[in-house]
Structure 1
C-alpha cells in the first residue's frame, strides 16, 4: 500500500502545551526576562497535568528559549517562543554525536597543522575573528557567525585543501552543532575564552597544545541539554 496512507501521527500533549505557551507569550506581550506562570497555574488553566507542563518547559529549555531557575520559576530568554517541531529536535539529537566525533577528528588536526603552518596573515584573520566574537559577546549576542569565522580562519591557517574540503562537506551539520552549543546559558563567553586559548597555541607554534585546546573546546560544544533530553509521550 502507498506510503501516503501511513497512519497519522498524533501530536503529543506537551507539544500542544508548547503551542499554547507560544500564543500566551505573544498575547501578553512578554519579553526576554519575563517570568511564565508557575507550573501548577499553567496546568490548571490548560486542563492538563503538571507532567505535561513540565515536559513542555523542558523542551523549551533544551531549545534555549527559557531558563528554569530552581525554586525561582521559569523565565523567557527570547522575546518569542518560536519552538522547533519535536521531530526536528529528535532528528538533530540523533545526528549530533556523529557530528561531534567528526569535528573532533578534523578540527583537532586542523588546529595542530595551523600551529605549524600558519602565516602572519593567517594569524591576523584569527585575531580579527576573536575581536568580532568578543564584540558580539559584549553585546549579549550568541556570536554564531563570529564563531564560524574563527573556525574558518583556523581551517585556512592549516593549509590543507583536503581537510578543508571535508569541513565544507559537513558545514551545515557543523553550523547546527555550533548554534546548539552557543545557545546554552553562559556558553558564548566560555567559547570565546577557549578560542583565545586555541589562538595562543597557534601563535606559539605549539601543535600539541593547539590540538589539546581544540579537543577541549569540542568537548564543551558537545555539552548541551539536547543530548540529555528524551522525548516523552506526555498524558
Structure 2
C-alpha cells in the first residue's frame, strides 16, 4: 500500500502540499492517461485537509492540462504523469499574460492588415505551408504548437514592417508562453486552425479590414484560458472539520 495519501500537517497553501501528494500517488500507483483520481471528498478525508484544498490542487492540474474534470463524472489524468510546473511559475505567468495578450492584439491585428496589403506569392506559400504543418500536428494528436508559430511568423513577415517585426521578436518568449497556454485548452487547436484559415483567406483576398478583424477575433480567443480564471490565493486553509489549519 502506498502512503502517498497519508494525513498532512497544516501549513500555508495546503493545496501545494496536496499537489505533491497527488503527484506521488499517481507515480506510485502507476496511474496513466485515462485513469481516474479518487473523489475529492475521499482525497480530503485521506489527506486530512478541506475539500477546498483538494479542489484548488485539482484546478492547478486542470490549468496545466494534466487532468480533465468531468462534471459529475470525476477527475481523469490526461497524461501519464501529474508532474506539474511549480505554482510560483504559474503565478508569474498569470501576472504577465494579460499584458502579453494586449500587446499581441495590438501588434498582430495591424500586421494582419498590412499583410493583406503587402503580401507576396512567397508570403502566401509560407502561410499555406504553416497551415498544413499545424493540420498535420493536430491529426497526429498534438497541439499544433509549431504550426501555430510558423503561421504567425509568416503573417508577421508578410506585413513587411521592420519595426513591427522587431517588436514581435522582443516579446517572442512571452508569445510562446501564451501560445502554449492557449493550445492546451480542450478543443483549442482545431479552433485555432479554423481561425488561422480565416485570417489566411482574408490576406490572400487582399482585404485588410477583414484580415484585421479575423486576427483580432483569434487573439481574443487565445486570451480565453483557464489560467486567468484561477485564484492562486484561494482560501484552502481549513481542515476537514471546517477549522483553519
* TM-score of the superposed pair, with normalisation by structure 2: 0.90
Give 1:83's aligned residue: 84
List alignment gaps of at least 5 residues for structure 2: 1-10, 238-245
Give 1:6's aligned residue: none
Give 1:67's aligned residue: 68
| Partner SS state of residue 75, structure 2 | strand
Give 1:109's aligned residue: 110
Q: 1:46-91, CA deviations, whole angstroms, 9 ceiling, x for partnerless residues?
A: 1212111111101111111111110000011121112121111111
Residue 244 of structure 2 is aligned to residue 227 of structure 1: no
Mapped to 1, the partners of 2:12 and 2:146 lie a distance apart of 34
Mapped to 2, the partners of 1:233 and 1:145 lie a distance apart of 38
Give 1:215's aligned residue: 216
Check the 8 A contact 1:99/1:173 in 2, yes or no: yes
Q: How many pairs align? A: 226
Q: 1:5-56, CA deviations, whole angstroms, 9 ceiling, x for partnerless residues?
A: xxxxx65111010111111111122111211111111112212121111111
Give 2:29's aligned residue: 28
Check the 8 A contact 1:117/1:159 in 2, yes or no: yes
Q: Within 5 Å, give how 1:133-148 maps onto structure 2.
A: 133-148=134-149
Residue 11 of structure 2 is aligned to residue 13 of structure 1: no
Q: After the TM superposition, which parts of structure 1 deviate over 2 Å for at least 4 consecutive aligned residues?
A: none
| Partner SS state of residue 17, structure 2 | helix
Mapped to 1, the partners of 2:42 and 2:142 lie a distance apart of 32
Check the 8 A contact 2:134/2:148 in 1, yes or no: yes
Check the 8 A contact 1:181/1:221 in 2, yes or no: yes
| Partner SS state of residue 75, structure 1 | strand
Q: Within 5 Å, give how 1:35-74 maps onto structure 2.
A: 35-74=36-75
Mapped to 2, the partners of 1:87 and 1:11 lie a distance apart of 14
Would the alpha carbon gap of residues 77 and 163 (structure 1) be closer, same or farther in structure 2, given more than 3 Å must change?
same
Residue 221 of structure 1, CA deviation: 0.3
Give 1:200's aligned residue: 201
Check the 8 A contact 2:52/2:235 in 1, yes or no: no
Q: Which structure shows the higher helix fraction?
A: 1
Mapped to 1, the partners of 2:108 and 2:34 lie a distance apart of 36
Give 1:190's aligned residue: 191
Mapped to 2, the partners of 1:31 and 1:60 lie a distance apart of 14
Residue 219 of structure 1, CA deviation: 0.3
Q: How much is the aligned-residue C-alpha RMSD, in angstroms?
A: 1.0
| Partner SS state of residue 69, structure 2 | strand
Residue 233 of structure 1, CA deviation: 4.4
